[in-house]
Amino acid sequence: MTKITLLGAGSWGTALSGLLFRNGHSVAVWSLFPEEIEMLQFHREHKDKLPGIHLPPDVVFTTDIKEALEGTSVVVFVVPSQKVRETARSVRPFLDRNTIVAICSKGLEENTGLRLSEIIEQELGNVRVVALTGPSHAEEVALDMPTTVVAASKDKEAAEFVQDVFMSSRFRVYTSSDIIGAELGAAFKNIIALCSGICDGLGYGDNCKAALMTRGLTEIARLGKAMGAAAETFSGLTGMGDLIVTCTSTHSRNWKTGYLIGQGIPLEKALQEIKMVVEGVTAAKAAYSLSLKVGISMPIVEQAYKILFDGIPPALAVETLMERKKKNESEDAGW
């Protein structure tokens, strides 16, 4: 039996705790919020984020970071992307240097544009880092529905260890050496999902959404390749796969936020209504900044940024994209 520690007790952390317990592991879940831990301890259910999903009595829920990390083989980050650095600093005094760090959070750090594995390496030094990512809604994993993801790492043995820990008859895990591409695909697809929701909110139909997803993936791959990712990664689970599920599912908080914006609701009010972290908002800011820094054309990301932060009307943003100068489809494709 392997001990696994999950840092974060939201919908994803809660869903993964059940999966890992079903796989035969000893599972501890840590949260900074006492009221959340008390709810999970007493009800064995996250009534706010995964109502109706009952958790095994042997899963440990705690606010004590030292207790959570004692004897663990894999520590799994499932906190929001903007809390990864702070959480890593909390972990540092208690983390065994041989412990593998798996990142299940998705996003980029807002002020630096850093990938989450880069933050972990800055804060925790020379640790073995794996990004576990792909098309995986927490709601479906919690219900033990078939799901497939990727364990990406520069460390082949660490990726294979995480693969073994998480893999089951309902949760298939592939490995990859392209952690850059896996993390960038996971972060940037949330921007396109926001845009997909906006298009649905505007009532623009399937043609528009198909074009948005296809050209959005081209932009993601273009920037990813410029940042050192392998182009083929973006045609796989952490690119195309994650993009499809996030753009088309009503489970997606990014899609939901975009849908509200498309219906004319201001960003701040939309975020208040969603009541969860919407990673696509900070990702849009980071991606737009990175595109300017490296000189990569990302017209969809640019218009998303202008909708979110400059307040331009969504319909005008779509019109601007449609009226750009004529191009060959393969021009500047980037992959």
Q: Which of 6, 103, 74 is nearest to 46 (CA)?
A: 6
- Cα-Cα-Cα-Cα dihedral of 227, 158, 132, 1, to 10°? -170
Give me the catalytic one of 106, 189, 285, 306.
189
Order across the sheet with 26-30: list the strands.
60-62, 26-30, 3-7, 74-77, 100-103, 128-133, 147-152, 171-176
Burial 199-217 (b: 16+ CB within 10 A, else e): bbbbebeeebbeebbebbb
User: Looking up tokens 């979110």, which residue turns up?
Assistant: 308
| Helical segments of the chain, H only | 11-22, 34-43, 65-69, 84-91, 116-124, 138-142, 156-166, 179-202, 205-226, 242-248, 253-262, 267-274, 279-294, 299-305, 314-322
Identity of residue 77? F
Strands 128-133 and 147-152: antiparallel
Phi, psi of 85 (to 5 degrees): -65, -45
Active site (annotated) includes residue 3: no
230/235 Cα distance (integer angstroms)? 10
DSSP annotation of 334: -
254/262 Cα distance (integer angstroms)? 12
Q: Which residues pair with 132 in a beta bridge?
A: 151
Q: Is 230 helix (H, G, I), strand (E, B) or coil?
A: coil
User: How many of the other CB atoms lie within 10 Å of CB of 247?
Assistant: 27
Give the residue numbers annotated as catalytic, written as ranges: 189
